Amino acid sequence: MCIFDASMVKKNGNVKKKTPPIPKVSGFVVAASVLFLTVCIVGFYFLYPSQKTLTYYTESDEIAFKSGDLILRRGKSFISQMVLLNDKKSEYSHIGIVVLQDSTPWVVHAVPGEAKKGEPEYIKMETVKSFLCVDKSADFAVFSPKEKYRNAAEKAAQHAREYYKQKILFDASFSLEDDSRLYCTELIWRAYQKAGINLAEQYTTVKSPLFNGDIIFPSDLFLNPIFIQIFPITTN
């Protein structure tokens, strides 16, 4: 039997569709969801690093750094843990490029949260010891270009240093649209690109509540076949 509802008819005879009611989500469900997500994130933050072997840098390691080398670290910050969660091919969350200056290795890199209070987050240039200090790094590795790419690597290091001198800001939006702001992997990618080498021929697509789009992860760079790992020494 069909039941006719007169309230659905306008005066001109046209049928008026009722808007279905929007289901209400109770405050308890929202609070429980937020609590669950928070517990997962906090749990990952504290438990993930303990599953890995920790390696700290000392000058006695005597690594033969060269301009253009990639130096990676596994950080201890919340952002570091999020990178590790999404970059399935890497044990490292942050990357910098080595620049030799008067035979001393320096690291040029873009990183959030390390600027002095009230100062802009410009690209940094600091010593290897500072880059790998125990407060920032739980583990690290160094990848060096093969000899046939050495000239390009030195040019890439020069381009990275120019970014530092230009006081380019850290790109908190993680956009690859231009080089007006840069994040860590983008800095390395663009420096090598200007030297004639495209380290990341494809990007990683991420879909998450924190970020949605294309991004370059550390593994997209150091796993490029132009590099060999020089620290720690592998037996493979």
Residue at 103 is within a domain: yes
Please give the residue range of the domain that contains residue 149: 55-231
CA distance 227 to 80: 23
Residue 206 burial by Cβ neighbours in a 10 Å radius (0-12, 13-18, 19+):
middle
Tokens of 113: 């949260």
Sorting pLDDT into bands at 50, 70 and 90, what band is 104? very high
pLDDT tens for each residue of 34-84: 454 544 544 544 445 444 547 778 876 789 999 999 999 998 888 888 888
Q: What is the CATH number of the domain that holds 146?
A: 3.90.1720.10
Residue 175 burial by Cβ neighbours in a 10 Å radius (0-12, 13-18, 19+):
middle
Residue at 217 is within a domain: yes
Number of structural domains, the chain? Answer: 1
**Is the pLDDT score of 114 beyond 50?**
yes
Judge whether 139 and 52 are in contact, CB under 8 Å: yes
Residue at 10 is within a domain: no
Tokens of 54: 């920790």
